[in-house]
C-alpha cells in the first residue's frame, strides 16, 4: 500500500495509512502468488467485505501484505471502481 500511494497508483488510496480501518487499498493477488502473501486475519477478512469493488477469492488489503524478498516479482491487480 505504501509503495502504491507513493507512486500514485490509481484507485489505491490508503486513507487509514495502513491501520486496517478503511479498505481503500483493496487489490487482487495473482493466483500463483496468493499463498505467499500470508494469512488473512479476522479483521482483514471483515474489512474485505466493505470494499468498493466486490471481494474475490484472491482479494487482499495491500496494507496487510508485508513486503519481503520472498515477494520479489509479486503481481497485484488494482480493481476498477464500479
Predicted TM-score (pTM) above 0.85: yes
pLDDT band at 68 (very low <50, low <70, confident <90, very high): very high
Q: What is the 3-state secondary structure (H, E, C) of 3-61?
A: HHHHCCCCCCCCCCCCCCCCCCCEEEECCCCHHHHCCCCHHHHHHHHHCCCCCCCCEEE
SS3 77: strand
pLDDT in tens, 1-36: 999 999 999 999 999 999 999 999 999 999 999 999
Domains of the chain, earliest start first: 17-77 (3.10.20.30)
Average pLDDT over residues 39-65: 96
Q: What is the pLDDT of residue 82?
A: 75
Q: Using CA atoms, how far apart are residues 73 and 56, in angstroms rounded to an integer?
A: 21
Lowest mean pLDDT among 16-20, 38-42, 69-73: 16-20
Which cell numbers hold the place of 4?
Answer: 502504491
Residue from 82, 72, 75 nearest 60 by CA? 75
Amino acid at each position: 500500500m505504501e509503495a502504491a500511494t507513493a507512486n500514485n497508483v490509481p484507485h489505491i488510496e490508503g486513507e487509514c495509512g495502513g491501520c486496517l480501518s478503511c479498505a481503500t487499498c483493496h487489490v487482487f493477488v495473482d493466483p500463483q502468488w496468493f499463498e505467499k502473501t500470508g494469512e488473512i486475519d479476522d479483521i482483514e477478512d471483515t474489512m474485505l467485505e466493505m470494499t468498493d469493488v466486490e471481494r474475490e477469492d484472491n482479494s487482499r488489503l495491500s496494507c496487510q501484505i508485508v513486503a519481503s524478498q520472498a515477494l520479489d516479482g509479486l503481481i497485484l491487480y488494482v480493481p476498477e471502481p464500479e
